[in-house]
Structure 1
């Protein structure tokens, strides 16, 4: 059974992993190459150290109740969506509350992680680290890799003809920190993800002109839903049930109507190119900037000249001063040995996106290498809870031979075009969380909960699927989970209630749920009933009891 665990990285997932190790009576040692916790959430004025950091103006895309650690809610006075500084403060509070800092070795780089000579028997790893030029070697029973998605900037210059002729400034968003230095310039932002939208909007306030180039287009979501409530708080089990019942074509039609109801994406140059995978970003200001002309949407760049950009639609923009590539990042595991390194780079060979399929001993876990339609923090915590219990032998995973055979077969089917490769698609939040929780033994049982605690069950099913739900039962159960769920709307509304209006009506949360989801669930229920043989039996029984004259009227 594992005891000593090496945790690589002290960001969001690294802190989760340290705490989960302690919860399972394991002995974690965390190696962090910078001088502080928080990973990319720790803002710095420059990126000279090569580490990816957030830009100063960044605001979280997932509200606080959905993006907290499951047994450590945000303070009620924190805003629902917060600056990087406040989020980092929360991470600091979490680390101090659970006394995690003493397990972290700062300014320490992991040089290599290799199998111990008797790995097949012990599952142990030899870890070589370097601190201020001095190397050390230690043996660990398990390793948790928490280096995340955003390791190396993806800068596809070779895809842009003439880019090397361009005489203006070229940089990746990793280097972007503040809008200072772009005053009065004509800036071209390439790539329309969350970062591209944020950078374009911020620069529109200082630059002479901002051009935003996209190959595919995107849906643009607001942080607030109907009624002004945080959009993530509408992610409920109720809604997840509807998604499972209704056909995908109907769901896509509904989503498209909802998105275009806010504003017509085609009119704004944001509509998704036919044949491309739908995607969405969170940005409250981009539509307004386009409407006011401070941001101009453009198609893909075809070619660069010394001072201009030529686009696929034939238009030319002259006198470009700066080009900012918001083209994402690549991940890597330079400290792993081959062939394990290459295998971990292929998500298809990561069982549930956590365990490498090839290892005969499941003592290495990749934490946080996921794309999710929801809180990454909440998911990494559940990954870490599962991984630590696998290390201890309390949870089992299939043998490596079976996992490798399944992954290899899937890879072959993708190459032959039989199935699509969905490894890079964003996972649905609730199904993935439930799957991990079921393996831990912490998935809430809704029917039983309705019998035992109807009030709590109502909030769990009809309310937002907050991380506290995965502390209600099973290993790691938290006594405060019930209270946290029942008061989650109080913490949501608290930072908004800074001006109290006498006799102001309070929107009842249950009525809000019924208004929002009553009609869809009724429709789904009718569909299920119509497919059921129970309906035929009910019709036959009732028909026998209807008076003959009413039956004649009914038939017509």
Structure 2
């Protein structure tokens, strides 16, 4: 028996999305990002809540967030609803008091016997091996330009890779960070003046930003694609979709509407790979190659045949009327 204590509740998101697709390959696209940035936050929040509750009603499971005006990032877990409905996990409010062998939860006077308490409260970070003049940590945030470079060094001889929490792939983001750092160390890419870097760091600290209908308020959290595009621009590796529409429209549309996979970061500029285009166009085939261990020959249904026949007849009638 597990008692799960939560103060503010949480939205629970599943890794396996609609029709069995991986959620990140459906949600993390350039089209979705542009669409989210276009919609007002209240509408975006409503759409997110509707999508979250389409899997299971969070209120019925005791998980509905208290602050629905500024919801936080979701918890990604496929098993939690099943564990709750079978009674293996019980959702409880915050802990009021811890006793020798039991705890008392808020709004529940009954003592609950407890064997083990696991604190899932996160962690704080600091750099004990660095002086505060190099990297200063305040309120859980480090003074790093683009989350990478200290702002007060005379020369960019030090960089921090991976001290981030993107709503997307951490490994892919860290790889782009490393590519930019190499270009800076080689002198190919230049950092802006110190005053500009400090101004941007302070802006990231003070301004909460949002995406997916949620608000990123914790340190190191940000939307994946806009941040990666900033770094790609710095190393001249960001694909120009507008010009690509004229030279390779199929690839441009796939990049815009399809998953934002790291192959996109190897199309142009530094680190260009000649196999990137083919990898992008065939990424869905590889995604389900491992799961299609049993294939069934699909035959068109009677409805599909009738629909195609009806469409053909409508086309013939339209042609006849035009040339009549």
Alignment of structure 1 residues 222-237 onto 2, 5 Å: 222-234=14-26, 235-237=28-30
Call closer, same or farther: CA 1:502–1:338 in 2, change over 3 Å: same
Give the equivalent residue in structure 1 for 2:170: 376
User: For residue 112 of structure 1, what is the aligned residue in structure 2?
Assistant: none
**Residues 485 and 408 of structure 1: is their aligned pair in 2 closer, same or farther, counting only changes over 3 Å?**
closer
User: Aligned-pair distance for 1:425?
Assistant: 5.9
Match of 1:493 in 2: 288
Q: How many residues align?
A: 292
Query: Paired residue for 1:214?
Result: 6
SS in 2 for 1:211: strand
Is 1:468 matched with 2:260? no
Residue 38 of structure 2 corresponds to residue 242 of structure 1: no
Counterpart-to-counterpart distance in 2, 1:223 and 1:314:
33
1:384-423 aligned within 5 A = 384-404=178-198, 407=201, 422=217
For each residue in 1:172-194, what CA deviation from the matched residue of structure 2 results, as whole angstroms up to 9, or x when unmatched? xxxxxxxxxxxxxxxxxxxxxxx
Note the 1:220-299 alignment, pairs <5 A: 220-234=12-26, 235-274=28-67, 277-299=71-93
Counterpart pick for 2:98 among 299, 304, 315: 304
Distance 1:258 1:485, change over 3 A: same
Query: Per-residue deviation at 1:452?
Result: 1.0
Q: Scaled by the length of structure 2, what TM-score is found?
A: 0.83
Residue pairs, 1:80-159, within 5 angstroms = none
CA contact (8 A) 1:360 1:399 kept: no
Give the match's secondary structure for 1:324: coil
Displacement of 1:317: 3.8
Is this contact kept in 1: 2:103–2:111, CA < 8 A? yes
SS of corresponding position for 2:290: helix
In 2, Cα distance between equivalents of 1:358 and 1:421: 26
1:88-142 deviation per Cα after TM superposition (whole angstroms, max 9, x unaligned): xxxxxxxxxxxxxxxxxxxxxxxxxxxxxxxxxxxxxxxxxxxxxxxxxxxxxxx
What is the CA-CA distance between 1:334 and the residue it aligns to? 2.3
**Structure 2: how far apart are the matches of 1:383 and 1:352?**
9
Once the two structures are superposed, what CA deviation does each residue of 1:264-320 show, in whole Å capped at 9, x if it has no partner? 101101111126642201111100111111100001101111111111122434321
Structure 1 residue 344: Cα displacement = 8.6
Change in 2 beyond 3 A, CA 1:281/1:382: same
- CA RMSD in angstroms, aligned pairs only: 2.4
Does the CA-based 8 Å contact 1:243-1:251 persist in structure 2?
Answer: yes
Secondary structure class of the residue paired with 1:289: helix
Kindly indicate whether the alpha-carbon contact (under 8 Å) linking 2:145 and 2:197 is maintained by their aligned counterparts in 1: yes
Tell me the SS of whatever aligns to 2:4: strand
Give distance in 2, aligned partners of 1:237 and 1:228. Answer: 21
Tell me how far 1:402 sits from its aligned partner. Answer: 3.7
Per-residue CA deviations over 1:467-514 (Å, capped at 9, x if unaligned) read: 110100011101111111111001111011011112267xxxxxxxxx
Residue 107 of structure 1 corresponds to which residue in structure 2? none
How far the C-alpha of 1:239 sits from its partner, in A, is: 1.0
SS in 2 for 1:365: coil
* In structure 1, C-alpha distance between the alignment counterparts of 2:204 and 2:225, rounded to whole Å: 24
Query: Matched residues in 2 for 1:273 and 1:330: separation?
Result: 25
Segments of structure 1 that go 5 or more residues without pairing to the other structure are 1-208, 415-419, 506-556
Aligned partners of 1:405 and 1:230: how far apart in 2?
A: 38
Query: Which of residues 474, 483, 497 is equivalent to 2:278?
Result: 483
Alpha-carbon spacing, 1:233–1:421, altered in 2? closer, same or farther (3 Å): closer
Q: TM-score, normalised by structure 1?
A: 0.50
Please list the CA deviations of residues 219-250 of structure 1 after superposition, one character each: whole Å capped at 9, or x if unmatched: 11111111111111112111111112111111
Is the CA contact (8 Å cut-off) linking 2:216 and 2:222 kept in structure 1?
Answer: no
Q: State the alpha-carbon separation in 2 of the partners of residues 304 and 332 from structure 1.
A: 29
| CA deviation after TM superposition for structure 1 residue 358, in Å | 1.3
CA separation of 1:492 and 1:357: change in aligned 2, threshold 3 A: same
**Secondary structure of the residue that 2:227 maps to in structure 1?**
helix
Shift of 1:406: 5.5
Distance 2:285 2:201 in 1: 45
